[in-house]
Structure 1
Amino acid sequence: MPHIPPYQPTRRHAAAITAILALLSIFPPLATDMYLPAIGTIANALHTSHAATELSLSLFFLGLCVGQVIMGPMIDSFGRKAPLMAGTALYALCSALLPLVRDVVLFDALRFFQAIGACAGMVVGRAVVNDLYDGQRAAKAMTVLVMLMTVGPIISPTLGSLLLQGFGWQSIFVVMLAVGIVALVLSAAVIPETLPPAARLRNPMRSAARTAGGLLRRRDYAVPVLVAGLVQGGMFAFITGSSGVFQGEFGLDSLAYGLTFAVIAAALFLFGQLNHRLLDHFTAARILGAGLPLYVLAGALLALASGTGSLWLLVVPLWLSIGMVGLLSANAMAITMAAAREGAGTGSALLGTVQFGMAFTVSACVALGGSDSALPMSLGILIPALLAWALWSGGRRRQAAPSAP
C-alpha cells in the first residue's frame, strides 16, 4: 500500500516545521558539547573528581539510548506531538535543576533524565519527516535537518567557554533551559500532528517489540541502520577525544579549544550543503556508496597524522573526516527510515538507539585510550568507517547477486 502523507504543509509551513525540528534536534549536542570546557570546573564545584563528572557524559549517551527505546513506541501509539511536548518539558525541567545541585550523584542522575527528554526531538523529527515526505524529498529534508542540527556542535563549545568565563558554569544550563522553553512554545504553535488516530498502534510496547524484531530481520533496514550508527560514531570519537587532544596534547586554552572545535564542526554544515546539491542528481544510496571509501581515506590520513605532533597536519584530515559524517549521515538515516515506513516511530527509535549505543561504545574506547595522543580519537573514527564501508559494500553485493534457481 503506498504511503499517503496525512498532512501536506505549505512551503512556508514546511520550512518552519523543519527549522523547529532542527532546534529540537540540537538538544543533545547542546547538552554535551557546551559543557565540555566546564567539566573540570564542575568537578571542583561538586567536590568530586574529573572522572566522576565525565561519567555524566556517558550517562547522557545512555539516557539517549533508553529514551529512544521508550519514545519510539510512544509516538507510534499516542501520535507525534504529545510525546514531543512531554519530552521537551522534561528536558527543560532537568536543565533548570542542574545548576542548583551540589552532589555529583544527583547531577549525573539529572543528566540521565535530561537525555531522555532530549531524545524526543530527534525521534519525533525523523518520524515527522518520514510522515510528510517520500524518496528524494525525504532525503533532502533529512539533509536540511542534519545541516541545521550542526549549528549545535559548531557554536556550543565556544559558547560554553564564554559563558564559563563570564558567568560561571551554572549559566551553561540556564541557556539550555532557555532553549528548551523556546522550543516548547514553538512546538506547541507550529508542529502539526502527522500521525492520524487510525494509523496509531495499540499496546505500544508489544507492537514495538514485534515491529523492531521484524525490522532487524530485514536486510534493507538492518544494514543502513548499522551503517548510520557507525558513521555517526566518528563524530562521538571527536567529541570525546577533542578536549584531551587539543587542550592536553597541544595546550590550547578553553576559548581556543572552543574555536578549533567550531571550525572542525563547521565541516558538518558545509558537507551537508554539498549533499543537498548532490541529491538533485544522485540517489541517497549512490552517494552513500561513493562517500564511504572517501570517509575511510580521510580516517586513514588522520591516523597517520596522529604521530606527527603537528596541530595543522591533524586538523586537516580531521576536518575532512567530520565533513564526511555530515555528507553520509543524512543519507544513511533517510534510507533507514524509508525501510521502516510502516513503523516509523519504532524505526526511528531503533536508529537512535543504535547511534547512541555506538556513541557510548566509541566514547568509552576513546576515553580508555587516554588523552596523551590523538591516536585513540583517530582510530575511533577510522575503525567504524571501515566497518561501515565493509557492511554497506557487502550488503549491496548480496542485494545484487542473482537468486539461486
Structure 2
Amino acid sequence: MRNFNIIVFILALLNTLESLSIDLYLPAFPSMAQIFNTDIGHIQISISVFFAGFAFGQLFWGPLSDKKGRKPILYYGLLLFIIGTAAIFFTANIYVLWMMRFVQAFGGSAGIVMGRAIVIDLYDKQKSVTIFSQQSQISGIAPIVAPLLGSLFLRFWGWNSSFAFLGIMGIISLFMVYQYVPETNSRIRLSDDADLVQEARLKDQLKMIISNKDFINSTMIGSIAFASLIIYISNAPFLFMELHGFSSGVFSFIFAFNSLALITAAYITPKLIKRMSNTRLLGIATVVLLIACVLHIVIAAGDLSVMLEIMMLYVSLLAIGILFPITSAHALSPFKEGRGTAAALLGFMQLMMTFVMSGLIGLLEADSIIPMVVARAALALVAVGFAYRIFKSKKVSLQEMAA
C-alpha cells in the first residue's frame, strides 16, 4: 500500500509540472510584457507554444516508451524539462522565451504520457478511473496555489523566480522517479530484430488505435474538456484583470477558487462511479458543461454580474474535472499493447485541439470575452454529440441517463 501511494503521488507530481508551467507565471504577464519590451499578447503566445511542444513531445515519447520502457523516457524528458526551464530563467528575449517554452514542454510531456501509460500498465479500467481521480486530487492543488505563489514570487523575486521554482520541482521529480518508480512495461524489445519488428508494427498499431471507436469518442471528449479548460486559463488574466479591473492578487484568489472545482471533481468522481456507470456519468458531465457554457454566454453578453461569471466557470470546471479521469480510462483501457502510443495520441489530440482553438480565439478577440465563451459552448455541444455516440455504442438509453 505504501509503494502504491508513493507511485500515485509521483505520477500526480509529474502532472503537476504541467499545471505549474502554465499557471505559475500568469500573474506576471503585465510585468513580463514590460521586461520583454512587448505586449501581453506576445507573452500569451508562450502558452500556445507550450501546448505545441507538449503535443509533439507526447507523440515522440509514447511510442518510444513502448519500445524502450517507461522509466528511461521519464529520465530523458525530465532532464530536457530542467534544461529548458533553466534557459528561460536567464533570458529576456521573447523569441528565446518561445523556443525554450517549446523545449520545456517537449520534455515535460514525457511525465504526462508515461503517467497515463504506467496506470494502464498496472490496473484495469475501473481501478484506473480511481487512480486518475486520486492523481487529480493531488495535482489539482497546483492551479489553486500556482497563481498565489506566482504573485508572491513576482512581488519579492521577479518574474523569473517562478521558473527557478519549476526547475527545482523538475529536479525533485527526477530524483523521486529514480528512487521509487518501477519499470511497468513488460513488453520491452531489446534485440535489433525485435526493434525492426516493433518499427514494422508501429503503423499497424496506430491504425488499430485510431480505428477503435472507444478511443476516438473518449479522446475527443477529453480533448474538448482539456481545450475548454486551457481556453479559460489563457483568457483568465484578460477577463479578470483587463476587463473587470481586478489586481493580480485578487485575480489569483478568483483563479484559486475556480480551481477548487477540479479538486472537488476528483474527490467525488470515484464515489459517483460506485453509484452509476462510467458512461452515464460521462454523459451527465458533458450536458452540465454545455449548460454552464451557454449560461455564461448569456451572462457575458448581458454584462449581468462578474460573480455569476465566476460561478458558471466553477460549474464548467467541475464538469471538466469529472470528464478527465473517465475519458482517459475509457480511451486507453481497450489496448493490451501499445499503451504508450495510445496515451501519446490521446495527449497529442488534446494539446493540438487546444493549440488550434486558442490560436483562433486569439485572432478573433479584441476587447471582448464573447469569443471565449462562445468557443467553449460550441466545444461542449460537440462533446455532447460524442457522448451520445458512446451511449449508442454501449446501448445505454437516454432514459437511463435521466433516471
Please report how far the alpha carbon of residue 198 of structure 1 lies from its aligned counterpart in structure 2 after TM superposition: 5.0
Superposed CA deviations along residues 161-217 of structure 1, whole A, max 9, x for unmatched, are: 111111101101000011111111111101110012557873555544332222111
Equivalent position amino acid for 2:107 in 1: G
Alignment length (residue pairs): 391
Instruction: Assess if the C-alpha contact under 8 Å between 1:139 and 1:330 holds in 2.
Output: yes
Moved more, 358-367 or 323-332: 358-367
Superposed CA deviations along residues 96-122 of structure 1, whole A, max 9, x for unmatched, are: 121111322112111100000110110
Match of 2:288 in 1: 294
Match of 1:330 in 2: 325
Match of 1:29 in 2: 19
Please report how far the alpha carbon of residue 21 of structure 1 lies from its aligned counterpart in structure 2 after TM superposition: 0.4
2:276 pairs with one of 252, 272, 282: 282
Map 1:384-395 to 2 at 5 A: 384-395=379-390
Q: Work out the CA distance in 2 between the residues paired with 1:198 and 1:104.
A: 41
Partner of 1:202: helix, strand, or coil?
helix
Match of 2:351 in 1: 356
TM-score w.r.t. length of structure 1: 0.92
Partner of 2:276: helix, strand, or coil?
coil
Match of 1:303 in 2: 297
C-alpha distance 251-72 of structure 1, shift in aligned 2 (>3 A): same
Instruction: Assess if the C-alpha contact under 8 Å between 2:50 and 2:102 holds in 1.
Output: yes
Map 1:148-227 to 2 at 5 A: 148-198=138-188, 202-203=195-196, 206-227=200-221
1:366 aligned to 2:361?
Answer: yes
Superposed CA deviations along residues 323-347 of structure 1, whole A, max 9, x for unmatched, are: 1101111101110011233211001
Please report how far the alpha carbon of residue 400 of structure 1 lies from its aligned counterpart in structure 2 after TM superposition: 3.2
Match of 1:318 in 2: 313
Q: Work out the CA distance in 1 between the residues paired with 2:388 and 2:6.
A: 37
Match of 1:129 in 2: 119
Match of 2:395 in 1: 400
1:246 pairs with one of 235, 240, 244: 240
Q: Work out the CA distance in 2 between the residues paired with 1:338 and 1:202.
A: 25
The gaps in structure 1 that reach 5 residues or longer are 1-10
Identity %: 28
Superposed CA deviations along residues 221-272 of structure 1, whole A, max 9, x for unmatched, are: 1111111111222101111211111011100111111111110011010021
Q: Work out the CA distance in 1 between the residues paired with 2:42 and 2:312.
A: 32
The gaps in structure 2 that reach 5 residues or longer are 397-403
Equivalent position amino acid for 1:24 in 2: L
Q: Work out the CA distance in 2 between the residues paired with 1:194 and 1:148.
A: 22
1:103 aligned to 2:96?
Answer: no
Instruction: Assess if the C-alpha contact under 8 Å between 2:151 and 2:248 holds in 1.
Output: yes
Q: Work out the CA distance in 1 between the residues paired with 2:375 and 2:258.
A: 16
1:145 aligned to 2:135?
Answer: yes
C-alpha distance 284-153 of structure 1, shift in aligned 2 (>3 A): same
Match of 1:4 in 2: none
